[in-house]
C-alpha cells in the first residue's frame, strides 16, 4: 500500500482539484483569523486538547455592505462556484441587516481531519442594508467602496489574504458609522475577514458535546461569553442552541494617524438537537441531516452583539 495509507493520511491525500482548492482558501481565511484573535485560537486549542478528538465546524460567517454588487453576493459567488447551495434568508429590521446561509456540497468528502480538514461547514453571510442608513453614513460607505475599484469581485481573495479591498478610513469616519451601526463600523475596518468560526458542540465526543457543559468549561477557563439575552441562545423550537465569546480587539491604524482599538472576531458554539421525527434513532445512527438545520433570527440577533461595545466593555 502507498505511503500515505500507511501513515493514516489517505483521506487527506484523496481530496483533489476544486475541493482541495476550496479547503485551501478556507485554511487561509482561518489562519488570518487565528493570527488576529488570540481568544479564538486559545479556545480552539483548549477544546481540541480536552477532546483529544477532531473538531467539526458548524459554520463560518462573513459580513458585507449591502450596496449593489458588494453585499452578500460578493462573498457568496465564491462558495456557489465551489458547490455550495443557497438556503434561507434571515431579516433583522431593527439592525438593518439581512443574511443568507449556504449549505456545503453534498458530495464533499468528510475531510478526515479536524476543523477545516473535517466536514465542510455551512456558510452564513450577512449584509448591511446601506440605503436605510443616514446620508452621512451612506456617503462614507460609498466612498470606501468606490476606493476599492473592482474589489467586490475579490472578496474571498481579500479574506484569505487578510487585506482590505478599500482604503483605511479616518477615526472620525469609523466613529460616525459606529454611532449608527456597530456592524457598519466593524465591516469598515475588518472588511471580508472571517467574522467567526463555530464549533459543532453535538459532534464532540466528551461531555462537552452538551453546550451547557461547553459554556461552563469555557467560562471556568477564564473566557467571557456574550451575555446578550442570556449566554445560551435557544430557538423557539428548542432545537438550535448557540453561544459565543466576546470579540477580541486589536489596535487599528486609521488614515489620520490615530491608532485606536477596534473589535475583531469571536468564536461561536452550536448544538443542533435531533429532529422529533428521528428521536427514536439509536445515537450511533444519528447523522448531521437528522438534526435541526439552518439558523434562527432570534439567536442570530443576539450573536451579532458579540462585537458590540456593550459586550466588549462589560466587566466580569
Stretch touching Ni ion by CB under 5 A, among 98-106, 130-138, 257-265, 266-274: 266-274
Could you say which of ligand OOG, Ni ion, none residue 299 binds, taking C-beta under 5 to 8 angstroms by partner kind?
ligand OOG
Task: Give the Å distances, CA to CA, from 12 to 1, 7, 81, 114.
Answer: 16, 11, 22, 11
Give yes or no for residue 228 binding Ni ion (CB under 5 A): no
The strand pairing partners of 241, in sequence order, are 234, 271
| Neighbouring C-alpha atoms within 13 Å toward the C-beta of 210 | 4
User: Rule CB under 6 A: which residues touch ligand OOG?
Assistant: 61, 63, 124, 126, 195, 242, 268, 295, 299-300, 303-304, 306
Q: Which three cell numbers stand for residue 298?
A: 432570534
Measured from the CB atom, is 152 or 307 closer to Ni ion? 307
Asked whether the beta carbons of 274 and 291 are under 8 A apart, the reply is yes
3-state secondary structure 61-118: EEEEEECCCCCHHHHHHHHHHCCCEEEEEEEEHHHCEEEEEEECCCCCCCCCCCHHHC
- Residues 18-57, mask of contacts with Ni ion (x by CB under 5 A): ----------------------------------------
Could you say which of Ni ion, ligand OOG, none residue 63 binds, taking C-beta under 5 to 8 angstroms by partner kind?
ligand OOG
Measured from the CB atom, is 97 or 145 closer to Ni ion? 97
Going across the sheet that includes 266-272, the strands are: 85-92, 97-103, 122-129, 57-66, 196-200, 266-272, 240-244, 233-234
Would you give the end-to-end CA distance of the chain in angstroms? 56
Instruction: By CB under 5 A, name the one of 248, 268, 271, 296 that touches Ni ion.
Output: 268
Shortest Cβ 124–ligand OOG spacing (Å)? 5
Asked whether the beta carbons of 18 and 9 are under 8 A apart, the reply is no
Measured from the CB atom, is 15 or 61 closer to ligand OOG? 61
Could you say which of Ni ion, ligand OOG, none residue 304 binds, taking C-beta under 5 to 8 angstroms by partner kind?
ligand OOG
Measured from the CB atom, is 152 or 307 closer to ligand OOG? 307
DSSP state of 196: E
Closest CB to ligand OOG: residue number: 300
Shortest Cβ 97–ligand OOG spacing (Å)? 8
Task: Give the Å distances, CA to CA, from 266 to 83, 127, 139, 286, 311.
Answer: 27, 18, 29, 29, 12
Give yes or no for residue 271 binding Ni ion (CB under 5 A): no
Q: Which three cell numbers stand for residue 247?
A: 470579540
Helix (H, G, I), strand (E, B) or coil at 57: strand
Shortest Cβ 222–Ni ion spacing (Å)? 23
Shortest Cβ 304–ligand OOG spacing (Å)? 4
Measured from the CB atom, is 20 or 232 closer to ligand OOG? 232
Shortest Cβ 197–Ni ion spacing (Å)? 9
Rounded Cα–Cα distance for residues 159 and 152 (Å): 11
Shortest Cβ 186–ligand OOG spacing (Å)? 8
Shortest Cβ 29–ligand OOG spacing (Å)? 14
Shortest Cβ 287–ligand OOG spacing (Å)? 21
Q: Binding to Ni ion (CB under 5 A): which residues in 50-79?
A: 61
Measured from the CB atom, is 154 or 266 closer to Ni ion? 266
Within 10 Å of residue 139's Cβ, how many Cβ atoms? 12
Interface with Ni ion by CB under 5 A: which residues? 61, 268
Amino acid at each position: 500500500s502507498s505511503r500515505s495509507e500507511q501513515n493514516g493520511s489517505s483521506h487527506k491525500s484523496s481530496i483533489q482539484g476544486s475541493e482541495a482548492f476550496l479547503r485551501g482558501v478556507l485554511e487561509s481565511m482561518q489562519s488570518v483569523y487565528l493570527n488576529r484573535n488570540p481568544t479564538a485560537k486559545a479556545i480552539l486549542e483548549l477544546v481540541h486538547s480536552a477532546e483529544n478528538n477532531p473538531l467539526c465546524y458548524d459554520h463560518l460567517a462573513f459580513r458585507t455592505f449591502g450596496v449593489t454588487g458588494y453585499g452578500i453576493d460578493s462573498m457568496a459567488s465564491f462558495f456557489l462556484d465551489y458547490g455550495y447551495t443557497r438556503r434561507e434568508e434571515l431579516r433583522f429590521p431593527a439592525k438593518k441587516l439581512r443574511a443568507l446561509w449556504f449549505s456545503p456540497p453534498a458530495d464533499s468528502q468528510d475531510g478526515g481531519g479536524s476543523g477545516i480538514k473535517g466536514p465542510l461547514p455551512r456558510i452564513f453571510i450577512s449584509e448591511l442594508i446601506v440605503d436605510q442608513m443616514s446620508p452621512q453614513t451612506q456617503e462614507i460607505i460609498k466612498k470606501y467602496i468606490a476606493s476599492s475599484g473592482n474589489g467586490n469581485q475579490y472578496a474571498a481573495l481579500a479574506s484569505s489574504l487578510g487585506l482590505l479591498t478599500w482604503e483605511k478610513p479616518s477615526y472620525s469616519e469609523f466613529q460616525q458609522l459606529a454611532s449608527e451601526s456597530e456592524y457598519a463600523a466593524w465591516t469598515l475596518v475588518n472588511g471580508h475577514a472571517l467574522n467567526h468560526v463555530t464549533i459543532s458542540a453535538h459532534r464532540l465526543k466528551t461531555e462537552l458535546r452538551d453546550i451547557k457543559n461547553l459554556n461552563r468549561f469555557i467560562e471556568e477557563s477564564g473566557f467571557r461569553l456574550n451575555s446578550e439575552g442570556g449566554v445560551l441562545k435557544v430557538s423557539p423550537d428548542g432545537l438550535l442552541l448557540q453561544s459565543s465569546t466576546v470579540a477580541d480587539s486589536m489596535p487599528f491604524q486609521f488614515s489620520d494617524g490615530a491608532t485606536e482599538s477596534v473589535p475583531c472576531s469571536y468564536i461561536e458554539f452550536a448544538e443542533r438537537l435531533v429532529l422529533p421525527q428521528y428521536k427514536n434513532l439509536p445515537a450511533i445512527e444519528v447523522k448531521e441531516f437528522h438534526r435541526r438545520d439552518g439558523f434562527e433570527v432570534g439567536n442570530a440577533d443576539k450573536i451579532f452583539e458579540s462585537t458590540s461595545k456593550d459586550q466588549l466593555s462589560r466587566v466580569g
